[in-house]
Every structure is written in C-alpha cells, then in structure tokens.
C-alpha cells in the first residue's frame, strides 16, 4: 500500500508552544509508521518555519531548534506552485510532496483559523476544523453569539474591548451588578487557561484585566458569570456522520482548572467516564453535538461544559485542536468510547482527506 505523505506541524507563535511539543511527540510515537511517510515541520516562537529531521525526544524537550540540519521552509499559494517548499540559497526551491497536514498547534496562529486558511490557499487537506469554524471557536465572544443563537445554554457574559476601557472602576461595578461577584475574566483568543482569572474584588479585577488583554493579543476579553458546579467535557469527531465520544469530569480543589492543573495535574484529577447519571451523561453528549454542529465543526473538537448544582448542563467552550498526548482528555474520551489512539489518528486523517 502506498504511504500517505503526512506533514505534522508543531510549535508556533503562541503561549501554548510547550503544549504543542508534548502533543506532537505523543502523536509521533503512536502513529502507524507503516501507513505514513512523515515530514516534520517546526515553527519557532519567532515564527520561523523549518524542516525538522531530528529525534522525537529533542522535539518534545524543545531542543529541536539546535539541530544543524534544520532547513528553512517556505510556501506558495499560486495555481501553478502551491504547497510547502524547501528553501535553498541561489538555487530553485524544492517542493515537498505532501498529501495531508496534521497541525498540532494550540492557541493563536495555529488553532484560530490563520493556518487553516493558509492551508486551504495551498490546496492541502488538513486535520481539524475549517478556517471559519476555527476562528469563531477561538473567539469566546463569537462562540457565545453563535451558540446562544442556536439555543445552546451559555453562562451570562460581557465582551470588553481594550480601546473602550476608560474607567476600570465603572466597568467593574457594571460587571459586579450584571454578573455578580465573583466572576471570571478570560482572554477572548487564548487557550490552556492563559489569561483566565476569577475576580473577587476591584484590585483583582485590575490585575486580571491587564493579564487577559496581554494574553488575548487582539484587544478583547470577556467577563463571565461564575457557574457553581464542576466541569465536564465530551469528544466529538466527524464531518457529516458524527461520532460522539465519552464524557469526562474534572475534579479540582482550585477555583479554576488552570495551566498547572491541566498539564501537571496539580490539585486536580480527571475522571473518564464522568461520575454523573446516565441521564446527564446523555444530555452532555447531546449538548456537545449541538454545539459542534452550531459552530460548523469538522474533524474533531472537544466540547467543554459545566454541570450546575441543580443538575443542569451549561456550555463553556470548544477546543478545535485539543491536547493530544496519550493521556490528554480528547484521546482518553475516545479510548473510553472504543477508539484506541493509533486508530483515532488514522480516522482523523481519513476525515481530512474525504
């Protein structure tokens, strides 16, 4: 059988650069090498693109940029010349033969539709949601607007634009009245809990607002009412025929499931399947499916939700390129639903190439 020429893209100009390295290393260790001819393309934190030919360990531990045989990569989007090219001085660039791309990039410049739009211009199929879906899923305000319009229950919120903030005290008082204290401040366009804070008073509000704007990078944050309860998630996969995976549950002693909780499991644990009733489990799967369809997702998405104290389910957000280590939530939920990690990788690539 002819191997699929698969490009795996990792790294990126994002706060979630380290997460990408761990996800990519896990994928490369699990992928079926008999089915794929793999090209590794790394993006530095300064935005330089390279063909990487070193070890998985050096990639995972962020030593990949030290390799002397890294070769600069360029790309073209014309009708005659499209795709990735190996750049060389004073000689013609060499086109790289690529059948499909697996972007393992989290956060800005990789999960927000920018890369997806570029790949579409280069006429390369890729794993995951399209450029529009990726962009609106990344933007928490747009997610609220679309999902609420589709009847998906969300937490009350306010969108705040940096250029409009002239009186922080007045803004805090408005949020306290509308959302009640404590409430959350979230960077609109960031993941892995970067720029997310729970606010109890005005002093916390000032610090959190500055940090959220910093991590957003686009001058927009949302203020969101606190949902009393706990967080759950559901893995969804597919283009037209959709497969809904298991539901997991986050147990944490912290006020929010932050970066350390997610990636170091500090004072946190994940239970898969979730410790909820069969009725709530089915409701969570249904809500995840509705959110996936409302946001026009394809390929894969992890849908995060809350179970409230009165046993109702509230939508939180979607992650179009979720963590992809063998123990990450998305692969774990799919494994619980009967799909092992290597088979999951195959299915996602097949969906990209439909």
* Domain final residue, candidates 194, 225, 256: 225
Backbone angles phi, psi at 281, to 5 degrees: -60, -50
Q: Is the pLDDT of residue 198 over 50?
A: yes
Backbone angles phi, psi at 128, to 5 degrees: 110, -175
Asked whether residue 210 falls in the same domain as residue 302, the answer is no
Q: For the packed helices 114-121 and 131-138, what is the interaxial angle rounded to 10 degrees?
A: 170
* Domain final residue, candidates 225, 243, 276: 225
Average pLDDT estimate for 316-335: 94
The domain that holds 186 is classified in CATH as 3.30.1490.20
**Least confident segment among 80-84, 166-170, 175-179:** 80-84
Asked whether residue 83 falls in the same domain as residue 144, the answer is no
Q: Is 117 a member of any domain?
A: yes
pLDDT on residue 80 = 79
Asked whether residue 280 falls in the same domain as residue 145, the answer is yes
**Least confident segment among 12-21, 125-134, 253-262, 317-326:** 253-262
What's the mean per-residue pLDDT of the chain? 93
* Domain final residue, candidates 225, 255, 280: 225
Asked whether residue 122 falls in the same domain as residue 192, the answer is no
Asked whether residue 17 falls in the same domain as residue 78, the answer is yes
Kindly indicate the confidence band of residue 86, based on its pLDDT and cuts at 50, 70 and 90: very high
CB neighbour burial string for 152-176, b if at least 16 within 10 angstroms, e if fewer: bebbebbbbeeeeeeeeeebbeebb
The 3-state DSSP class for residue 185 equals strand
Q: Is 170 a member of any domain?
A: yes
Asked whether residue 213 falls in the same domain as residue 249, the answer is no
The 3-state DSSP class for residue 70 equals coil
Q: Is 271 a member of any domain?
A: yes
State how far the Cα of 283 lies from the Cα of 289, in Å rounded to an integer: 10
Percent of the chain clearing pLDDT 70 (strictly above): 95
State how far the Cα of 151 lies from the Cα of 153, in Å rounded to an integer: 6
The domain that holds 339 is classified in CATH as 3.30.470.20
Asked whether residue 114 falls in the same domain as residue 235, the answer is no
Q: Is the pLDDT of residue 314 over 90?
A: yes
Q: Is 131 a member of any domain?
A: no
Asked whether residue 166 falls in the same domain as residue 141, the answer is no
> Could you report the per-residue pLDDT of 112-154, keeping only the tens digit for each?
999 999 999 999 999 999 999 999 999 999 999 999 999 999 9
Q: Is 265 a member of any domain?
A: yes
The domain that holds 83 is classified in CATH as 3.40.50.20
State how far the Cα of 116 lies from the Cα of 131, in Å rounded to an integer: 5
pLDDT on residue 200 = 96
Asked whether residue 25 falls in the same domain as residue 37, the answer is yes
> Could you report the per-residue pLDDT of 242-283, keeping only the tens digit for each?
999 999 999 987 665 444 444 455 677 999 999 999 999 999
State how far the Cα of 223 lies from the Cα of 197, in Å rounded to an integer: 10
Asked whether residue 183 falls in the same domain as residue 216, the answer is yes
Asked whether residue 92 falls in the same domain as residue 186, the answer is no
Kindly indicate the confidence band of residue 217, based on its pLDDT and cuts at 50, 70 and 90: confident
- Stated as kind and residue range, the H or E segment containing 72 is strand 71-77
Range of the domain at 341: 136-153+228-352
Asked whether residue 106 falls in the same domain as residue 38, the answer is yes
Q: Is 309 a member of any domain?
A: yes
More confidently predicted of 218 and 238: 238
Q: Is the pLDDT of residue 93 over 80?
A: yes
pLDDT on residue 46 = 94
The number of CA neighbours under 13 Å toward the Cβ of 4 is 21
Q: Which two tokens stand for residue 210?
A: 């500055």
pLDDT on residue 259 = 45
pLDDT on residue 255 = 61
Average pLDDT estimate for 229-253: 95
Q: Is 221 a member of any domain?
A: yes
- Given the structure tokens 């963590």, which residue do they identify? 323
Answer for the pair 343, 337: CB distance below 8 angstroms, yes or no.
no
What Å distances lie between residue 103 and 126, 198, 265, CA to CA?
A: 7, 31, 25
Q: How many domains does the chain have?
A: 3
């Amino acid at each position: 059988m002819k191997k699929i020429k698969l490009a795996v893209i990792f790294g990126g100009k994002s706060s979630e650069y380290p997460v990408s390295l761990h996800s990519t290393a896990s994928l490369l260790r699990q992928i079926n090498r008999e089915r794929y001819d793999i090209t590794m393309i790394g993006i530095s934190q300064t935005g330089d693109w390279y063909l990487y030919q070193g070890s998985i360990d050096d990639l995972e531990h962020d030593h990949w940029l030290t390799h002397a045989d890294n070769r600069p990569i360029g790309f073209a989007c014309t009708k005659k010349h499209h795709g990735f090219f190996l750049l060389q001085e004073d000689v013609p660039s060499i086109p790289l033969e690529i059948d499909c791309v697996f972007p393992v990039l989290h956060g800005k410049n990789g999960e927000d539709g920018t890369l997806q739009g570029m790949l579409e211009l280069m006429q390369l199929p890729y794993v995951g949601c399209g450029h529009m879906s990726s962009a609106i899923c990344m933007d928490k305000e747009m997610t609220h607007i679309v999902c609420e319009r589709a009847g998906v229950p969300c937490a009350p919120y306010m969108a705040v634009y940096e250029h409009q903030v002239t009186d922080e005290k007045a803004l805090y008082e408005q949020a306290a009245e509308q959302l009640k204290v404590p409430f959350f401040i979230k960077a609109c366009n960031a993941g892995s809990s970067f720029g997310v804070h729970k606010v109890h008073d005005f002093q916390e509000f000032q610090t959190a607002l500055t940090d959220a704007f910093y991590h957003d990078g686009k001058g927009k944050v949302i203020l969101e009412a606190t949902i009393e309860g706990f967080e759950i998630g559901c893995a969804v996969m597919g283009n037209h025929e959709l497969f809904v995976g298991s539901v997991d549950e986050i147990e944490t002693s912290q006020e929010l499931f932050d970066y350390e909780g997610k990636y170091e499991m500090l004072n946190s644990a994940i239970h898969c399947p979730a410790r909820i009733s069969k009725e709530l489990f089915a409701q969570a799967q249904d809500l995840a499916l509705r959110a996936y369809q409302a946001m026009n997702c394809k390929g894969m998405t992890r849908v995060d939700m809350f179970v409230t104290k009165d046993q109702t389910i509230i939508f939180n957000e979607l992650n179009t390129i979720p963590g992809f280590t063998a123990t990450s939530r998305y692969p774990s939920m799919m494994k619980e639903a009967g799909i092992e990690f290597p088979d999951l990788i195959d299915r996602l690539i097949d969906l990209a190439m439909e």
